[in-house]
Amino acid sequence: MGDQIMLGVLAIAIGVGIGFLLFVPFVAVSYRRRGRLSAGRLLLWLAALIYFWAIWTYTLLPLPDPDTIRCVGAITDPMSVVRDIRKAIAAPGRTITNPAILQLVFNVLLFVPLGFFVRVIGGRGILVALFIGFGLSLFIETTQLTGVWGLYPCAYRFFDVGDLMTNTTGAVLGSIAGLIVPRAYRGMTPAADAGMPRPVTRGRRALAMLCDALGFWFVSVGAGIGTQLFVGYVLHDRQTMAEGELAGFIGTATAAVLWLIVILATGQSVGDFAVQLRYGGSRIPQPLPRLLRWAGGIAGLSAIGLLGGFFDVVSSAAILVAAVMLFFTRDGRGLPGILSGQQLRDAREPRR
C-alpha cells in the first residue's frame, strides 16, 4: 500500500510539474480557441496530465532490481477472465472482495478516465476511445512482455490478454460517461465567440502577470542552467559553476532582454499576449511607452536586481508593490500602465 501511495504522489508531482511548464502556452491557446480560460477546463487538463503519468507509474513502476526479478510467461487465453470470474463467484466468502474480481474492476476503472478525456478533451466518440484504449493497453502489455523493451532479460510482469479486454472496456465506458458533459464544452473546436472582445478584469490582468512571472522564471532558469553547463563542462571552471552567481546574472539578463525585445516589437509582454491584452492610448510617441511598459513589469523590475547589493532589495520590493497595485488601479493596469500613461484594452478590439 505504501508503494501505491508513493506512485500516486509521484504521478501527481510529475503531472503538476509539467502543468507548470505548459501553463503559459495553454493559457494562450485557450484565449485564442475559447476566448477565455475557465477554471473547469484548466482542472480538466491538469487531471489529464496527472492521469497520463499515473498510467505509467502504476503499470510499469517501481522498476525491480535486475538481480531479484522472477521471469513470468504470458496469458494469451481470452477466456481466462471468464474462468477467474467463475472461480471467484464459486469461492466461499464475499465475491466482491475476491482478488480476481478486484483486479478486474481495477483494470476497467483504470481506463475509464482515458475514454472520458478522449470524448471531452478530444471531442471523439466511442470507436476512437476503443482503439486508443486498446492501443495504449497493448503498448503497456508489450512493454511488460519485452522486459521494458530489453531493459530486463525477461518479462517480470504477465502479458495478459484479459487486461487488454478489461482496459478497452474501461475506455469505452469512460467515453459513454463523457456524454454527460454538454456538447458545447467538448473537444477543441474554437468557440464561435472566441474572437470577440471581452471585458478587461483584474482577474484577467492577474493571469497575465502570472504568465509573465512563470515565463520569465522558466527562461531565466533555462539560461542559467545552460550557463552552468557551459562554464563547468566547456570552460572547466568548476569553482564559478559551484558559486552560481554568473549563471544567475546571465539567466536574469537573458530573460529581461528577451522581454524587452518582445515588448518593443509588439507592445505586449508574454503575459499580455497569452490573455489577449494590450496597452494603448498614450500621448507619448513610441517607442518610449513600450520601454516604460517593460520597465514597470517583471522583466524591468527584475533587471534592477542585476546591479546587486541594495538593488536586490529594491527589485524585490518593487515587484511586490507592482503586484499590489493590480488591486488599486483601474482595470488592474498596474505599474506598467501608470509609467507609460496607457490603458489596458482587449487586444481583439479594433485599433484606434
pLDDT digits (tens, 9 = 90+) for 86-121: 776 766 766 666 677 778 888 899 999 999 999 999
Average pLDDT for 128-155: 89
Name residues whose C-beta falls within 8 Å of residue 270's C-beta, 6 or more positions apart in sequence: 24, 211, 212, 215, 216, 259, 262
pLDDT digits (tens, 9 = 90+) for 153-192: 888 887 888 889 999 999 999 999 999 998 877 887 787 7
Average pLDDT for 65-85: 77
Q: Residue 272: is its pLDDT beyond 80?
A: yes
Could you tell me which of 2, 135, 148, 169 has the C-alpha nearest to residue 69?
A: 148
How far is Cα 290 from Cα 302, in angstroms, rounded to an integer? 17
What rounded mean pLDDT belongs to the chain? 87
Residues 107 and 99: beta-carbon distance below 8 Å: no
How far is Cα 269 from Cα 87, in angstroms, rounded to an integer? 65
Question: What residue segments make up the domains of the chain, in order of their start?
Answer: 1-62, 68-192, 202-346
Could you tell me which of 100, 18, 121, 12 has the C-alpha nearest to residue 58?
A: 12
pLDDT digits (tens, 9 = 90+) for 301-315: 999 999 988 899 999
Confidence (pLDDT) at 314: 94
pTM of the model: 0.82
Given pLDDT bands bounded at 50, 70 and 90, which one contains residue 12? Answer: confident
Confidence (pLDDT) at 87: 74
Entry field: residues in the chain: 352
Surface-to-core class of residue 303, CB atoms within 10 Å of its CB (0-12 exposed, 13-18 middle, 19+ buried): buried
Q: How far is CA 253 from CA 219, 239, 260, 288, in A?
A: 10, 21, 10, 21
The owner of cell 503575459 is 271
Residues 205 and 139: beta-carbon distance below 8 Å: no
Residues 230 and 206: beta-carbon distance below 8 Å: no
Comparing 3 with 152, which gets the higher pLDDT? 152
Confidence (pLDDT) at 1: 47
How far is Cα 96 from Cα 206, in angstroms, rounded to an integer? 50
Confidence (pLDDT) at 27: 94
**Percentage of residues in the chain having pLDDT higher than 70:** 94
